[in-house]
Structure 1
């Protein structure tokens, strides 16, 4: 039911008052609960007061400083996330979440998908067994970076980057909101940065691990570092693994192998060169494409077993990813550092897939048709990024400056063959599909393939220059301002287009005391689009803007942080079909730019060490996103809570226990029904609980057990077609440290 304008304004005012009141209560509650607990630690902490010592501090550091952090921590002390300036998380005027190696080990987060599903403010759709989409604050995430190098992600590639194995990463950083200063083109949702491991040990060290779990899932990983010369100035590291297993889906089987190698060489005392290469290959038998029908032919909702696999027995899927990179860092005596990073990456995929369509009879299962597709594609990415950062003096105060340039070229090429048995309807006929019910086993004949055609063959280029400065305006007050100039172009099957854009960035941070800071920021981003209007002109890029304000805190010398944020995101110039209108009277559909979506809400995150024995991450998000048609992306929860903890028992120091829970509110999707109408399908709120325990048997040997979805909740990860989430499952692992 729609509200009239007066009711909408009243609701907005009430909503704003409730948000401000809620945020204030959260801030006061956190301060009241945690300050007494941390009072003694704060007295002995090395954290500086909000005076000259803090604001004028010169940071002599590089990106690998976090490797020296406490290995068991869930937080890092410094990061370049958001601005590329080396800052503490408290000094970044945006919401930043960091998932460390220890957190990934405790919760057995083995892919980037696992990490994002357990990150504050991130929600997802598991579209089928192989593809996933991620959202932040109501908007789809398209910005994935590797060591700060951006990758343009489209629908055909939304599974490739998030499927990466986390064994090769030191940590994963998520900056929520628009991130145009860092990534150039993209959406105003969030940016996900994957930070690779380095060879930072001058002695022989490493670990091997093996695990076994539900559905015969086996996993073996080795991570070994060693000096390559007598002095340790040249070091090497290799991370390799193999994984094989089935699924809760019948007939599904997946195996993957990966290897990552890096050499770090200290050319001089202040210059380090890193050369790295990673390779990952995965094969899947009987993968799904899409999900299960939502409606029976009589209009009632379907209820299938979670184990039902809609794949045909001839379906398969193969992906391969290869990346090589070189990174040079030089640290000058005056605190400045210079970075050059060059990357070349190639991703390929090939598949044969079956998509199940139409509506089965509730009694017999007859009536569904299918669509076969054979696909292949390749993405090539070549990037060079160079920047310098460091302190400078102005008007008697110490400040920081960062400036850089980057070049990014990406070639995307995909092609397909259609598979049919019914030429009249261009699908796989219902008579060939048979009865689609819980006994369906995918035993159907492979369709007739109709020949290869090109889906896309495009080259996207980005040339950018960017800069940011952090000015110490007063002892407790700092201002971060920056901008990125981007020349964006594409040519190929989707058309030729060029767009230039200046992306501004501004943030203000005020230190209330030695624990709390208040901040406000404005950021933006843009996304060119290849839609054209009726006159043949390309539409202006989709633009995104983020406004955010809140409070941040840090205790125990930065080992524990908290953020309370209120935000608003705007997205405009979204291309919309103009019904019955075509470009220059051709067959090309014409589009027009419309006002897009608005999202506003609040977030809270507490992350790090409450005590030396207790680590936790707790995140809470509430937002409202709307466009001209009502709720925006209604299949994404607008309220979600995520908690995970680890506790080392004081009386049993060799035993660590922990667990957590993820909860989200009700969502819905508008789905086409058999009678041609559009029906709204709901999924109620649900929690997912997880547990883990690890016991240090000897100094080198540890065993660990994990249980996911402890209460075996049944839920959907996608609702346009039903895709079930994983049932209760377990894993046990053993590791050896040397």
Structure 2
């Protein structure tokens, strides 16, 4: 094991001694001159979440949770004015008195809707793009401005304004440094800080080698990007971070929305979102999201048919306890996987954008994706909450994939297709508790829990057929898309997938036990996070396996310069088990990673918009890359180091004007390698400079009330392709894409026209494939439009 990791037993002793010493020593050092405030905010429809609670004349504040509850700790004894506010509601001011060493319970505070809310054309409120608190599935009870880590959230309003249909589209543009890599059209691969970020759903790590199926946005409430390792969520994952897809849940308010969309390349889509109560007493709630889509393509004979069914039921057993049952079914039928890739011996972009490598008469690929959640939430006490989750994922794919055996000058391409039947199963369980303990004038925000997971992916890649013979060869400059019957593949599916897969089995089981204490000093001005996680992971790929138990510490420090500004620093660790062997039969060591990060966060204009600036350095040991002598195997590079600077701006900068603006500088290099000539060379698959913007303005009054205009761009400079080969002209050109929207909406109706790639640029990504001595790339769509019409009821 890498020396960067302290032996487990020794680390545990040091960690818990530090925990006890820091917490209780400082707690005893302060006299009990403070108390606590607790309460709940309600509106006509019930509990009200995301309400800002603050004490006038102090920097103390918080947000209400999903149950409308809040707690303020370390409140100086005496009389204060409590202010509760949320966009669309009348601000509430109430005098409160705090007694030293005691908890003052305020009961229910009622907020009333304003006339402005009744006429609001932006349904999500004025700060449509800004989110102040993470979802409960991220386990944090601390406002984002106080968390010692860079966390960025893409919410539902931003997804809707950009008309993003699924994770394969423009989600990445809204967060600094996130880029979408080439894809097979069945799952999303997003990179950040030099490597792939793991996909989570509702707080669970659902990543598999080729999955899960990219989520459709019809069922998504928000997407949370957590940068760098996060021991409170995982340790056995890439130190670049993860993104957490949060699905829609019942709100208790009866409402609905239906949307019809159409667009370029024969794209048609319909969605319905129903939310409400199934019982008069409001204990049984429901949410139902439905989606159906036919999406064509700018590439010939490429398409994707999808539909999604996502019902959710929530039952409140009592005021303290609730059970949520969630099921999602996604179906996708698409043209042959891999048809988006184009190959040429002449260089990049040597074919028209509409060229597809898939035969028109090849059978499609069908994917059926099921997921089920059961969530228990129980309020143990005013300041303690228990959450338990069970989840089951089942993914079944029947189809094929395309690649090229070789390419010749002049556009000649020798295509090949192989079967790609696959089954992916995931079983997950979590239980965690959030709570607070006060020792003197120090508040301890405790997070402790257990994670269990089991994943298994099996696939049949063992049957392949050439799509050419002596008389039929494909040419990208003069394509003939119909194969003669003699060349159509005839895959044998008479045996079960398990029998056909052979050693193509990838599995992982893991368990994680973690404890985190956020110590809050001097009326919450200083916050010290001490945490540790023990993770055991058993990983097996293609018949070779590993079994690792690792302790990963986490130390974070956050301080408030004032109630709107905070500084933070973080040290965290992660590890990634690596199964398999190299060409000589040697097993791979696990990746180990260390992260150092510091940043500045600030809310501006009374919290209407915020900014985050962070710097970081990630060191990864035992990194794998493709073996240049044998592409069927990998080799371990030794060590890579990724460092960078990131900046994000999000929120309402002027009345009616919302902005998302970000920039990232990333430098990722090989720092140690068995081949000395590789030291100092870039790591494949990142862009040194990434910048994006989305500016939206909507008129709130006058004869054109409800009219909105948006304009945005995506830019990448100094892009590194997936594969780097010395002596080849494989550097990718700079990337710039502009998009715009014109829309109108009122309380009930909306219409929006989005135009993407305004300048009709030929945009692509790819690499030089040294094994076959050709270039491959994927092109993006030329100028295109999407028109959506929605009604709320």
**Gap change, CA 1:525 and 1:215, over 3 Å in 2:** same
Match of 2:668 in 1: 625
Q: TM-score by structure 2 length?
A: 0.78
Equivalent-residue separation in structure 1 for 2:215 and 2:634 (angstroms): 38
Spell out, residue by residue over 1:105-149, the C-alpha distance to the aligned partner (whole angstroms, 9 max, x if none): 1001111222533232201222455555321012122x1111101
1:492 deviation in Å? 6.8
Partner of 2:433: 388
- Decide whether aligned partners of structure 1 residues 715 and 49 sit closer, same or farther in structure 2, where only a CA change above 3 A counts: farther
Q: Which residue of 2 aligns with 1:433?
A: 473
Partner of 1:227: 277
Distance in 1 of aligned mates of 2:417 and 2:289: 38
Cα RMSD, aligned residues only: 3.0
* Deviation string, structure 1 residues 386-445 (Cα, Å, up to 9, x no partner): 101021101322221110011111121111242335xxxxx8446432444243324342
Instruction: Show the counterpart of 1:318.
Output: 366
How far does residue 590 in structure 1 lie from its aligned partner after superposition? 9.7
Counterpart selection for 1:308 from 351, 355, 369: 355
Structure 2 residue aligned with 1:461: 509
Structure 1 residue 718, shift from structure 2 partner? 2.5
Instruction: Tell whether 2:181 aligns with 1:125.
Output: yes
Structure 2 distance, partners of 1:409, 1:420, is 34
* Equivalent position of 2:206 in the other structure: 151
> After superposition, what is the alpha-carbon deviation per residue over 1:171-193, rounded to whole angstroms, capped at 9, x for unaligned?
10001112343123111112010
Match of 2:488 among 446, 451, 454: 446
Candidates 600, 611, 633, aligned match of 1:551: 600
Does residue 578 of structure 2 align to residue 529 of structure 1? yes
- Residue equivalent to 1:243: 293
Cα distance in 2 for partners of 1:666, 1:342 equals: 43
How far residue 537 of structure 1 moved from its aligned partner, in angstroms, is 7.2
| Residue correspondence of structure 1 range 33-48 to structure 2 within 5 A | none
Aligned position for 1:605: 648
1:399 is the counterpart of 2:399: no
Change (3 A) 1:496 1:108: same
**Contact between 1:146 and 1:194, CA under 8 Å: does it hold in 2?**
yes
Matched with 1:731 is: 786
Offset at residue 699 of structure 1 (A): 3.5
Q: 1:479 to 1:408 in 2, by over 3 A?
A: same
Do the aligned residues in 1 keep the contact of 2:433 with 2:447 (CA within 8 Å)?
A: yes
**1:53 pairs with one of 34, 56, 60:** 60
* Mapped partners of 2:238, 2:440: distance in 1: 38
Q: Decide whether the 8 Å contact of 1:694 with 1:702 is kept in 2.
A: yes
Tell me what 1:165 maps to.
Answer: 216
> Residue 654 in 1 paired to residue 710 in 2?
no
Q: 1:653 to 1:280 in 2, by over 3 A?
A: same
For structure 1, the 5+ residue unaligned runs are: 1-44, 422-426, 582-587
Q: Using the alignment, how far apart are the partners of 1:214 and 1:124 within structure 2?
A: 22
Task: Tell me the equivalent position of 1:24.
Answer: none
Displacement after TM superposition at 1:538 (Å): 4.2
Structure 1 residues 540 and 635, CA, compared in 2 at 3 Å: closer, same or farther? Answer: closer
SS at 2:504's partner residue? strand
Give the match's secondary structure for 1:663: strand
Distance 2:458 2:722 in 1: 32
Q: Which has the higher helix share?
A: 1
Matches within 5 A, 1:293-372: 293-296=343-346, 303-313=350-360, 314-362=362-410, 365-366=411-412, 368-372=413-417
Q: What SS does structure 2 have at the residue aligned with 1:666? A: strand
Q: SS in structure 2 opposite 1:117? A: helix
Deviation larger for 513-522 or 116-125: 116-125
- d(CA) in 2 for partners of 1:736 and 1:514? 40
TM-score between both structures, scaled by the size of structure 1: 0.84
Give the whole-Å Cα distance in 1 for the aligned partners of 2:607 and 2:185. Answer: 39
Q: Is 1:292 equivalent to 2:332 in the alignment?
A: no
Output aligned runs, 1:515-594, within 5 Å: 515-531=564-580, 538-555=587-604, 558-575=607-624, 594=637
DSSP-derived class of the 2:562 partner: coil
Distance 1:512 1:316 in 2: 58
Q: Displacement, 1:684? A: 2.3
The match for 1:645 is: 695
Q: Which runs of 5+ in 2 are unaligned?
A: 1-51, 71-85, 89-123, 494-499, 672-677, 769-775
> Does the 8 Å CA contact 1:47/1:556 hold for their aligned counterparts?
no
d(CA) in 2 for partners of 1:65 and 1:415? 51
Q: Is the 8 A contact 1:336 1:391 kept in 2?
A: yes
Q: Determine the structure 1 residue equivalent to 2:194.
A: 138
1:585 alignment partner in structure 2: none
SS in 2 for 1:102: helix
Conservation of the 8 A alpha-carbon contact between 2:527 and 2:559: yes
Q: Name the CA distance, whole Å, in 1 between partners of 2:355 and 2:626.
A: 37
Q: CA deviation at 1:494?
A: 2.7
Using the TM superposition, give the Cα deviation of residue 316 of structure 1 relative to its aligned residue in structure 2, in angstroms.
2.0
Describe the SS at the equivalent of 1:553. strand
- Decide whether aligned partners of structure 1 residues 332 and 375 sit closer, same or farther in structure 2, where only a CA change above 3 A counts: same
Tell me how far apart the structure 2 counterparts of residues 356 and 545 of structure 1 sit (CA, whole Å).
Answer: 39
Tell me the residue number matched to 1:264: 314
Q: Deviations over 1:358-382 (max 9, x none)?
A: 22332xx44x322220111111111
Is the partner of 1:610 in helix, strand or coil?
Answer: strand
Correspondent of 1:695 among 728, 744, 768: 744
Residues 1:181 and 1:63: Cα distance change in structure 2 (over 3 Å): farther
What is the deviation of 1:557? Answer: 5.6
Matches within 5 A, 1:408-419: 408-419=453-464
| CA deviation profile, 1:448-486 (whole Å, cap 9, x unmatched) | 658844352243111111121110133421111211111
Aligned partner of 2:497 in structure 1 is none
3-state SS of the aligned residue for 1:198?
coil
Please say if 1:722 is aligned against 2:771.
Answer: no
Change (3 A) 1:395 1:46: closer
**Residues 651-707 of structure 1, C-alpha deviations (whole Å, 9 max, x = no match):** 43311221211111132448799xxx85122332232111112212x5312111111
**8 A contact 1:138–1:632 mirrored in 2:** no
| Separation of aligned partners in 1, 2:265 and 2:483 | 22
- CA–CA distance in structure 1, aligned partners of residues 543 and 470 of structure 2: 35
- Contact preservation (8 Å) 2:684, 2:720: yes
Q: Do 1:515 and 1:554's aligned partners in 2 also have CA atoms closer than 8 Å?
A: yes
**Distance in 1 between the 2:68 and 2:165 partners?**
22
**Is 2:235 the counterpart of 1:184?**
yes
Describe the superposition over 1:239-294 as per-residue Cα deviations: whole angstroms up to 9, x where unpaired: 00100021000111211010100011111112121111010001013543462223
Q: Deviations over 1:219-239 (max 9, x none)?
A: 000001121111211111100
Which of 657-666 and 608-617 deviates more? 608-617
Task: State the Cα distance separating 1:60 from its structure 2 match.
Answer: 6.0
SS, match of residue 532 in structure 2: strand
Q: Deviations over 1:300-348 (max 9, x none)?
A: 6562110001112214222111011111111244221110111011011
Aligned-partner SS, 1:292 = strand
Aligned twin of 1:23:
none
1:12 alignment counterpart? none
CA distance in 1, matches of 2:296, 2:583: 51
**Counterparts of 1:541 and 1:65 in 2: how far apart (Å)?**
43
Contact 1:347 1:380 in 2 (8 A): yes
Structure 1 residues 671 and 228 mapped into 2: Cα distance closer, same or farther (>3 Å)? closer
Question: Deviation of residue 569 (structure 1)?
Answer: 0.8
